[in-house]
Amino acid sequence: MCLCLDWNPSATSISVGLSDSSVSIVSFSESQLDVIQEWEAHEFELWAASFDIHQPQLVYTGSDDCKFICWDLRDDDPNILLTRSYDEYLRLWDVRSISKTVNETLFCLGSGVWRVKHHPYVPGVVLAACMHNGFAVVKIDEEKGELMEIHAKNSTLAYGADWQGGELYQKVKQNSTVVATCSFYDLLLQIWIPESCIFKRP
């Protein structure tokens, strides 16, 4: 049973509090609703679920368990940590059991992984600067990693990479996420849009 709801500031998604103590984030586009995130938020019914009007990546919830919680939608899982390495591998860790990785070797990106940035709104998607192998967009979960695309494979030492986010992201009219990347020896800054359809904004 849906007990409460709130539009995000750009009116592209809705937070919904449910009687089973969970919260859902529902995207709205072209008269279609899709659940894009859902998680167990409290111990009892959830009577309040609201976006922060100044920082729409934050959602506040309240419940009969007498707890008020702030959730950051950019975090896939508060217990999950992703690391990068010169040995070319992304690795997934659970901070509750840090003695070993969730997967011994999650995903090899073909060169030293210098920078990793989580997508600001799409769970499980990361952008990686892979030194001698360009920039990779990867979809990950606890079981495996999937390479979505490689950009500028011939870049001379791919070092910097980040997703567009914040208020500017909310104002962009395109249905795609924009990224910025930079490489070392050629002094190149590039702005580009990943081709994969999973980056269409809600």
pLDDT of residue 201: 47
Pairing relation of β-strands 32-40 and 158-163?
unpaired
End-of-domain residue from the set 21, 45, 72: 72
Structural domains counted in the chain? 2
- pLDDT tens, position by position, 6-40: 999 888 899 999 999 999 999 887 778 888 889 99
Count Cα atoms within 13 angstroms, Cβ side, for 96: 4
Check if the beta carbon of residue 163 is closer than 8 Å to that of residue 119: yes
Farthest-apart Cα atoms in the chain, separation: 57
Query: Tokens representing 32?
Result: 């279609």
pLDDT of residue 17: 94
pLDDT of residue 185: 87
Burial class of residue 160, CB neighbours in 10 A (0-12, 13-18, 19+)? middle
pLDDT of residue 77: 67
Same domain (yes/no): 88, 57: no
CATH number, domain of 178, equals 2.130.10.10
More confident residue, 128 or 175: 128
pLDDT of residue 29: 75
Cβ neighbours of 6 (radius 10 Å): 16
Same domain (yes/no): 61, 86: no
What's this model's pTM, rounded to 2 decimal places? 0.57
Cβ neighbours of 8 (radius 10 Å): 22
Residue 63 structural domain: 2-72
- pLDDT tens, position by position, 138-197: 988 766 778 888 887 666 889 889 988 755 555 554 556 788 999 888 888 989 888 875
